[in-house]
Structure 1
Amino acid sequence: MGLKSALVLAAAAVIMGAPAAARAAGPCGTTPGLVCSDVVVPLDRSGAVPGTVDLHVESLPPSGQSSGAVFLLAGGPGQGSAHTFDLGDPQSASLFRFLFPGYTLVAYDDRGTGNSGLLNCPALQVSTDPSGQDLLASACASSIGPPASFYGTVDHAADLDAVRASLGLDKIALYGVSYGTKLALAYAATYPTHVARMVLDSVLPTNLPDPFGANVARAMPATLSAFCAQVCRAATPDFAGDVTAVANRLAAKPAHGSVLLASGGSKSDTLSGVGLVSLVVDADLNPGLAAELPAAVHAARLGNLAPLLRLHVLDTVGSEFPAPELSFALYAATDCRDGPFPWPADSAPSARPGLLRSAIAALPPGTFGPFGTWAADLGNASLCDTWPTPSGGVNLSPAAYPNVPVLALSGGFDMRTPTEGAQSVVAQFPQGKLVVVPGVGHSVVTTDPSGCAALAVHDWMLDTSTSRTCSRPPFLVAPIAAFPRAPSRTAGSAATFALATRTITEAEAAWLFGASNTSRSAIPGLTSGSLSPIGNDGFGLAAYGIAKGIKLDGTLKLAERNGVTLKFQGTLTVGGRLAAHGTLQVGASGVHGTLGGRPVP
């Protein structure tokens, strides 16, 4: 309790963005034709709590005749759609004009996000300890005060309709990603006559997220097995089994260790079962992490926790977002208002932890698949159990949705919103279609390197009778092989070459890991040195090692794509007390050079 109490005190400060002055529509950004405006909406539509919110709205008409308007709805909750989709950037605008040919593009920051009265609780925003986040969230809500009750999905849907009306539109198309799909579905249920069609990417049904995260836990083994089929053999024969075994072990006894920092120091780290499962989930948005995890988890199962602890530290740093990009205060305000939860909405916060424990104890065996009941901490119930305002009890699921065309996209490697959720939603729409892209993670359009998902949306917007099937795209970087052991004595040229090539492939994955997190920070090697990004297309290695006794120095630059697979080129120097020293050339055709005075390979 001492740590939690300290965290509560730290969370007492809250910053609420002041409402922007009402602004007439005018040009903005660098994309020609983009218009920005503000739409003022009541904070509380019942009028009981005074106040308004200024919603920042961006609208981009097509170059020719308009076929209608499509509203772009971002995820989270906590991502502002205008901020996320960035129509003011010509390159981003070009993507969405391709997806929705002939449509006016509309994106607005939801209340509490971006430029629409941003909610920012600093301590909650930077928190990485799940065990204290419920008290941080509660303190955040108390600091916000009475307005904290008015950031639920019902409020967001009403705001969406207010923006629609302000633009003089009758029927609109909706494009939602992740939480944006839940908002789109809730809007369709509440305002059915104003919906023309919907594109739902990474579908979150209105009755989710599960309060315990049970749907995520149950689906994970099959998702991991499908992801690793035929491609992870060099790392592990059973990725799903490794994750299950290590996660249950860590739930019983968390691992503690020290991780090398790029600066040369070290950082202590603790990894629990929930921490590991959360790390695995994060891989569905990060292809570099996905390439590293099978080998790291297998090493942990065999007793070597160092690679896994390193990934955990790197992911924790990479998961830090400034509030304008993703407001965790708004995330909590929305999900803690919505539910569903195993307690009455008007229950006293002091009673909820006990109700939560009783509900978990009553869950039938197999609720979490191969994981124990400890996995219940994956869900939002453990975040919201002390939320001080009405919590849960909001029914967002209608008796029937409007009969409109719906295209749903699901990634076969999506662990946040598993495909079964998309299937259940599509089944409720007679004109519904589902496109599953194997091997691709969350937010399908932007994580599918083949572009098939984007083409599926483009074609369907032109003709809803069309249907496209997507094959599994090649990896940007393939899953790495098992982490090598350090040689027991000085390695010969062939053994050094084998270690060096495995270090190179791991470094490529580590670079992609950082790039996918938009991190510009140096990345530590596992045993020595660091990797430093160079621009957006290369990296430098300084004494970089993943096995003791061998280090790489030099620079690799992105040379070309072999299809979608990344290829690098450059010159590396091989050193270290157990290595055959020399130089290697890396190119599209492979790796070759001289080690210990001998040509390799």
Structure 2
Amino acid sequence: MRAVALYGTIGSLVLSALTVAPATGLDHPREGVRRAAEDTGTMIAAERAAAAGIAFGPCAEAEMLPDSVRCGTVGVPLDYAAPLGRQIRLTVSMAGATGGSAERQGALVYNPGGPGASSLTFPMVGELAEWKRIARAYDMVGYVPRGVGDSAPLSCQDPADFARAPSDSPTHPSEAYKRKRIARAKAYARGCARGAGPALRHYSSINNARDLEVLRAALGERKLTFMGASYGTYIGGLYATLFPSHVRRMVFDSVVDPDPDTVWYRSNLDQSRAFESRWRDFRTWVAKHDETYRLGTTAAAVGRRYEKVRAELAVKPAGGKVGPGELQSAFLGAAYYDDYWSMRATALSEYVHGDPQPLIDQATPRPAGIKDSENANAVYTAVECNDAPWPTDWRVWDRDNTALARTAPFETWDNAWMNLPCAYWPAPRRQPVDIGTARGALPPTLILAAERDAATPYKGALELQRRLPGAALVTERGSGSHGIGGGENPCVNAYLESYLLTGRTPVRRAQCAPHPEPNPVSLERGAARDASLPLV
């Protein structure tokens, strides 16, 4: 298990400077009343959870977790304004602290992001060298958020339809193609409403933060020690704002911009812009190793090769399964994690030079994961659509994404299509919580960020530090991998370990040199390495 497997992706968030049209369904005075009722409901739910605890036992066989990991469930209200009403059972996993009783510091709860990702496998990281000392001190705790997996699973369409391949993915879509995607977005939003019914509105970030408070109580922890990556940092920021006196230690790894004016439409446009820079980093690295990959000696030349392959796959999908959409999805992984660079470059090179099989192996959706992928996408969509106002006028989306795609074509329109159901969302939209605390309200917290991270651009880390007085920021300079704690950089890991074990942080900001770039993989070895690594 590689450290990178810890981190869920945030999907495709996006941002630009524009005025967002008010969403339908918002009623601010009534929303204030609802939030007050939810605050009371959270206290009731936490008290019940503290009394009940969690009965840990063997994990379900389907989870394929080792015997050292135990599983249980905790009940949370579907609607915190009705805490005695319908309950959702969240699955929780735990590996007990491996050190002696004198070393134990309680539970470390981890959320990998998404929205729509599970951390059920997180306790297994205690076996990795980077985590062993932390695992001696902490019970390592993962959980399945609401809507995910068996925790009141949300579905918006038939998984077979969701994964139908091959798919198209034009960089600069025609008007006819846009109309087709608008219709698809409307149908998807209707499917979410059919699948969830009145419960749809309750899949939200603020409820995820409230669920975390109930989980803290169920674990018997007086205060929460939490690490969130990617979207998990947004949940952590909400928790710190709602329950500051319940925070013991908190790590924010690869930070979602918490500014309520960016959540979520503007933050998605910012993300697309950042992906263009990271895509250039990948192409520059491939060009530097042209002796291995033979795809061009400049980033521009590598880009032309990639676009030529996209065009070919639109006419003749590789293996009848990999079209431009599957290609794009596979290579988006290279913009998230640089340890995908060698395998993706090898697949592209092999295809260009006559062997499509590595690309087919890497880019073909795996049938066994289709149901989980559809579920994750449904939760992602519901949470982001419910969380905040979105433009409801297609002309706003068209204007902003058309303009952005002129300079950032790699991911812009794919991001837009992923989020477009929010323009037609049938459930009420909420106003985002203004994340932040007063000075002294929180103990020291730790922020980790890679300077060139595309999924969560670096300015989000700066914004969160501004909003949480006393937070320290550790920056991996010149690097862009998403999710850096417990990964490849010993400098970053030293700060993480020191904080979790002692509570000490840098005075305000610290810097780490980047971890080494990947070594190129020869064409002969590429296929073997490819088969051993997971797909994004």
Normalized against structure 2, the TM-score is what?
Answer: 0.69
Q: Corresponding residue for 1:26?
A: 56
Q: Corresponding residue for 1:239?
A: 299
In 2, distance between residues paired with 1:40 and 1:450?
Answer: 38
- For each residue in 1:484-504, what CA deviation from the matched residue of structure 2 results, as whole angstroms up to 9, or x when unmatched? xxxxxxxxxxxxxxxxxxxxx
In 2, distance between residues paired with 1:377 and 1:230?
Answer: 24
Structure 1 unaligned segments of length 5 or more: list them: 1-21, 261-265, 344-354, 481-504, 520-601
Could you tell which deviates more after superposition, 149-158 or 159-168?
159-168
In 2, distance between residues paired with 1:151 and 1:118?
Answer: 10
- For each residue in 1:75-115, what CA deviation from the matched residue of structure 2 results, as whole angstroms up to 9, or x when unmatched? 2222222x231x2x485588655346523333222112234
Among 71, 81, 84, which residue is 1:46 paired with? 81
- Once the two structures are TM-superposed, the CA of residue 277 in structure 1 deviates from its matched residue by 5.5
Q: CA RMSD in A?
A: 4.2
In 2, distance between residues paired with 1:166 and 1:453?
Answer: 31
Q: Which one has the largest radius of gyration? A: 1
- Once the two structures are TM-superposed, the CA of residue 72 in structure 1 deviates from its matched residue by 0.9
Asked if structure 1 preserves the Cα contact closer than 8 Å seen for 2:276 and 2:411, the reply is no
In 1, distance between residues paired with 2:481 and 2:109?
Answer: 23
In 1, distance between residues paired with 2:243 and 2:281?
Answer: 38
Change (3 A) 1:469 1:278: same
3-state secondary structure, aligned to 2:424: coil
Q: Corresponding residue for 1:314?
A: 362
In 1, distance between residues paired with 2:414 and 2:240?
Answer: 31
Q: Corresponding residue for 1:395?
A: 432
Among 311, 320, 323, which residue is 1:267 paired with? 320
Among 103, 108, 114, which residue is 1:70 paired with? 108
In 2, distance between residues paired with 1:140 and 1:364?
Answer: 25
3-state secondary structure, aligned to 1:202: strand
Could you tell which deviates more after superposition, 49-58 or 194-203?
49-58
Among 371, 375, 381, which residue is 2:412 paired with? 375
In 2, distance between residues paired with 1:68 and 1:433?
Answer: 24
- Once the two structures are TM-superposed, the CA of residue 314 in structure 1 deviates from its matched residue by 3.0
Asked if structure 2 preserves the Cα contact closer than 8 Å seen for 1:213 and 1:378, the reply is yes
Asked if structure 2 preserves the Cα contact closer than 8 Å seen for 1:257 and 1:309, the reply is no
Residue type at the aligned position of 1:436: E
Residue type at the aligned position of 1:222: S
- For each residue in 1:200-229, what CA deviation from the matched residue of structure 2 results, as whole angstroms up to 9, or x when unmatched? 222223344446832122223433444565
Once the two structures are superposed, the pairs formed by residues 414-453 of structure 1 within 5 Å of their partners are 414-429=453-468, 430-436=470-476, 438-439=478-479, 441-445=481-485, 448-453=487-492
Change (3 A) 1:269 1:224: closer
Asked if structure 2 preserves the Cα contact closer than 8 Å seen for 1:78 and 1:112, the reply is yes
Change (3 A) 1:341 1:99: farther
Asked if structure 1 preserves the Cα contact closer than 8 Å seen for 2:286 and 2:299, the reply is no
- For each residue in 1:530-574, what CA deviation from the matched residue of structure 2 results, as whole angstroms up to 9, or x when unmatched? xxxxxxxxxxxxxxxxxxxxxxxxxxxxxxxxxxxxxxxxxxxxx
Change (3 A) 1:405 1:322: farther
Change (3 A) 1:313 1:298: closer
3-state secondary structure, aligned to 2:133: helix
Asked if structure 2 preserves the Cα contact closer than 8 Å seen for 1:288 and 1:512, the reply is no
Asked if structure 2 preserves the Cα contact closer than 8 Å seen for 1:220 and 1:415, the reply is yes
In 1, distance between residues paired with 2:209 and 2:194?
Answer: 24
Structure 2 unaligned segments of length 5 or more: list them: 1-51, 60-64, 170-180
3-state secondary structure, aligned to 1:409: strand
3-state secondary structure, aligned to 1:405: coil
In 1, distance between residues paired with 2:490 and 2:68?
Answer: 26
Answer yes or no: is 1:509 the counterpart of 2:526: yes
Among 465, 483, 488, which residue is 2:505 paired with? 465
In 2, distance between residues paired with 1:250 and 1:97?
Answer: 44
Asked if structure 1 preserves the Cα contact closer than 8 Å seen for 2:255 and 2:449, the reply is yes
Among 217, 235, 256, which residue is 2:272 paired with? 217
Change (3 A) 1:289 1:80: closer
Change (3 A) 1:276 1:314: closer
Q: Corresponding residue for 1:98?
A: 133
- Once the two structures are TM-superposed, the CA of residue 359 in structure 1 deviates from its matched residue by 0.9
Change (3 A) 1:31 1:101: same
Residue type at the aligned position of 1:37: G
Among 256, 261, 264, which residue is 2:314 paired with? 256
- For each residue in 1:90-145, what CA deviation from the matched residue of structure 2 results, as whole angstroms up to 9, or x when unmatched? 85588655346523333222112234233345426535658446523531331221
Change (3 A) 1:70 1:441: same
- Once the two structures are TM-superposed, the CA of residue 472 in structure 1 deviates from its matched residue by 3.2
Q: Corresponding residue for 1:283?
A: 334
Could you tell which deviates more after superposition, 318-327 or 212-221?
318-327
Asked if structure 2 preserves the Cα contact closer than 8 Å seen for 1:125 and 1:328, the reply is no
Once the two structures are superposed, the pairs formed by residues 143-158 of structure 1 within 5 Å of their partners are 143-158=195-210
Instruction: Give the fraction of aligned pairs with identical amino acids, expressed as a percent.
Output: 21
Q: Corresponding residue for 2:148?
A: 113
Answer yes or no: is 1:337 the counterpart of 2:389: no
3-state secondary structure, aligned to 2:320: strand
Change (3 A) 1:455 1:210: farther
Residue type at the aligned position of 1:138: R
Change (3 A) 1:417 1:299: farther
- Once the two structures are TM-superposed, the CA of residue 184 in structure 1 deviates from its matched residue by 0.9
- For each residue in 1:258-300, what CA deviation from the matched residue of structure 2 results, as whole angstroms up to 9, or x when unmatched? 355xxxxx3165326xx76644422145656422556887999
- For each residue in 1:29-50, what CA deviation from the matched residue of structure 2 results, as whole angstroms up to 9, or x when unmatched? 5878865433222211223995
Considering fraction of residues, name the structure with more helix. Answer: 2
In 2, distance between residues paired with 1:516 and 1:311?
Answer: 13
Change (3 A) 1:358 1:365: closer
| Number of aligned residue pairs | 444
3-state secondary structure, aligned to 1:445: coil
Considering fraction of residues, name the structure with more strand. Answer: 1
Asked if structure 2 preserves the Cα contact closer than 8 Å seen for 1:27 and 1:36, the reply is yes
Residue type at the aligned position of 1:111: R
Change (3 A) 1:312 1:366: farther
Asked if structure 2 preserves the Cα contact closer than 8 Å seen for 1:288 and 1:509, the reply is no
